[in-house]
């Protein structure tokens, strides 16, 4: 299939027998409604937009069912402590999964009130670019919500997105590896060193030939 067809929100690379009753354009519009301030992916409408079998699943958190997801987000109360700008863009329907909407986020947040025992500093947090997805059922309710860091080298939160980025950004150490910047394991570091040594030996032999 030509590459340009993938840029068409109505294109599909999946089985021709697969159909979804909500059109791609309407599905994108529904995603934007769900993300809006009156809904907040279930956090502002009491979970009304979420399907009964909803799950939240991110890179290291989840899957969480509906009640656990709402309880977890309700406990953080990020909006009470930060002036948050979402900066969402790049909405598109997955050409191989016609009920999924993908989009990106370049979130920034100013620390304006105390958070997790840390006094308001006025610091501007810049989270790394993140890619999100929303899966819908045929009734337009959210079946799955998740996100992943797209580029851990950007921003000032140690490459961490979501709530972990906020904790790290204000200097609050949660004490477990998943909430800390990525660090290669000892075995992986040793593997890289051995690989580098082998390449140097091979290059030296080539020069001697």
Residue 80 structure tokens: 């009470």
How far, rounded to the nearest angstrom, does the alpha carbon of residue 148 sit from its chain's CA centroid?
Answer: 3
Give dist(CA 186, CA 191) in Å, integer: 9
What is the rounded end-to-end Cα distance, in angstroms, of the chain? 46
CA 35 and chain centroid, separation: 14
Residue pLDDT tens, the chain, 209 long: 444 445 555 555 544 446 899 999 999 999 999 999 999 999 999 999 999 999 999 988 889 999 999 998 877 789 999 999 999 999 999 999 999 999 999 999 999 999 999 999 999 999 999 999 999 999 999 999 999 999 999 999 999 999 999 999 999 989 888 888 888 888 988 888 888 878 888 888 777 77
pLDDT at 5: 46
Cα-based distances in Å from 137 to 53, 102, 208: 10, 15, 64
CB neighbours (10 Å) of residue 8? 13
Residues 50 and 44 sit within 8 Å (Cβ to Cβ): no
Please give the pLDDT value at position 32.
Answer: 97
What pLDDT score was predicted for residue 118? 94
Q: Nearest to residue 128, comparing CAs of 157, 164, 86?
A: 157
Q: What is the reported pLDDT for 22? A: 95
* Count of CB atoms situated within 10 Å of the CB of 179: 19
Centroid of chain to Cα 128: 10
Please, are residues 87 and 108 in contact by the beta-carbon 8 Å criterion? yes
């Amino acid at each position: 299939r030509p590459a340009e067809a993938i840029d068409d929100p109505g294109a599909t690379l999946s089985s021709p027998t697969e159909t979804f009753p909500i059109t791609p354009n309407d599905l994108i519009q529904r995603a934007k409604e769900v993300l809006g301030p009156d809904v907040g992916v279930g956090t502002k409408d009491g979970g009304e937009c979420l399907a009964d079998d909803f799950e939240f699943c991110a890179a290291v958190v989840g899957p969480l069912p509906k009640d656990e997801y709402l309880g977890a987000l309700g406990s953080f109360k990020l909006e009470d402590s930060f002036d948050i700008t979402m900066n969402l863009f790049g909405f598109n329907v997955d050409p191989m999964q016609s009920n999924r909407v993908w989009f990106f986020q370049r979130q920034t947040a100013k620390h304006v009130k105390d958070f997790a025992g840390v006094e308001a500093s006025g610091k501007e947090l810049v989270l790394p670019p993140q890619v999100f997805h929303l899966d819908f059922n045929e009734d337009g309710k959210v079946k799955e919500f998740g996100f992943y860091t797209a580029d851990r080298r950007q921003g000032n939160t140690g490459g961490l997105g979501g709530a972990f980025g906020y904790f790290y950004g204000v200097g609050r150490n949660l004490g477990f590896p998943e909430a800390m910047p990525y660090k290669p394991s000892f075995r992986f570091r040793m593997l890289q060193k051995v690989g580098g040594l082998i390449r140097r030996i091979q290059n030296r032999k080539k020069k001697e030939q």
